[in-house]
């Protein structure tokens, strides 16, 4: 059986705390050091370097983390159990964020690609799309079998986010409007397939 390589909740929380601390410290227009960010996040300097190899990497990601926000807030006050509608809203929101922050996301992706995948201590990327997908499907999860729900979440994660923007632009050569239309079609088709 394959070992679970997902980071623990504690590790995710420490990483998130570092991102939020960096966002707070840069609001004044100055560039903090890694030590200052670690102190503000209430973690050790060693912990900060466990998740980000340098301050540049951390400062590139901090505004992106703030832009995505908390997934549950997106659907606050929306009791709808229409998975197509809610997934379409999640994809549209992520689409806007990725296209508005393209240059930073390309740097973030390049940093992730350059890491040694066999190094267990290498910093991991923050998974923002899965919590967003799960929040979108929260009111309709009962409509899917367990297997279809898990498969749907995995398939949607391939369509929503930075990598799909890269494919649309660099591989397919389509503009933002065409990419938005193609991704909207794909997420709708995936939800309908999972409901069958």
Residue 35 included in any domain:
yes
For residue 9, give the CATH number of its domain: 1.10.10
Distance CA(192)–CA(186), nearest Å, equals: 10
Same domain? For 95 and 182 the reply is: yes
Same domain? For 54 and 73 the reply is: no
Residue 31 included in any domain:
yes
pLDDT at 2 over 50: no
Same domain? For 77 and 18 the reply is: no
Residue 20 included in any domain:
yes
Same domain? For 166 and 74 the reply is: yes
How does residue 134 score in pLDDT terms, banded at 50, 70 and 90?
very high
Residue 13 included in any domain:
yes
Its domain, for residue 110, covers 69-195
Same domain? For 171 and 85 the reply is: yes
Same domain? For 92 and 54 the reply is: no
Same domain? For 90 and 169 the reply is: yes
Per-residue pLDDT, averaged over 20-25, amounts to: 88
Same domain? For 93 and 135 the reply is: yes
Same domain? For 158 and 131 the reply is: yes
How does residue 10 score in pLDDT terms, banded at 50, 70 and 90?
confident
Distance CA(129)–CA(183), nearest Å, equals: 14
pLDDT for 170 equals 95
Residue 64 included in any domain:
no
**Per-residue 3-state assignment (H helix, E strand, C coil) for the chain:** CCCCCCCCHHHHHHHHHHHHHHHHHHCCCCCCCHHHHHHHHCCCHHHHHHHCCCHHHHHHHHHHHHHHCCHHHHCCCCCCCCHHHHHHHHHHHHHHHHHHCHHHHHHHHHHHHHCCCCCCCCCCCCCCHHHHHHHHHCCCHHHCCHHHHHHHHHHHHHHCCHHHHHHHHHHCCCCHHHHHHHHHHHHHHHHHHHHC
């Amino acid at each position: 059986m394959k070992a679970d390589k997902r980071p623990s909740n504690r590790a995710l929380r420490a990483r998130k705390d570092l991102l939020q601390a960096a966002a707070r410290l840069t609001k004044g227009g100055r560039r903090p050091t890694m030590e200052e960010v670690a102190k503000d996040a209430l973690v050790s300097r060693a912990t900060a370097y466990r998740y980000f190899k340098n301050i540049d990497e951390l400062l590139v990601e901090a505004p992106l983390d703030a832009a995505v926000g908390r997934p549950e807030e997106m659907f606050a006050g929306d009791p709808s159990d229409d998975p197509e509608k809610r997934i379409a809203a999640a994809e549209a929101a992520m689409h806007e964020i990725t296209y508005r922050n393209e240059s930073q996301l390309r740097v973030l992706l390049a940093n992730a690609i350059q890491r040694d995948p066999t190094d267990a201590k290498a910093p991991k990327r923050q998974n923002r799309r899965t919590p967003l997908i799960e929040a979108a499907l929260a009111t309709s999860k009962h409509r899917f079998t367990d297997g279809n729900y898990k498969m749907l979440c995995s398939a949607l994660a391939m369509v929503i986010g930075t990598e799909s923007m890269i494919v649309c632009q660099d591989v397919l050569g389509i503009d933002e409007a065409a990419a938005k239309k193609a991704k909207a079609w794909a997420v709708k088709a995936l939800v309908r397939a999972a409901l069958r």
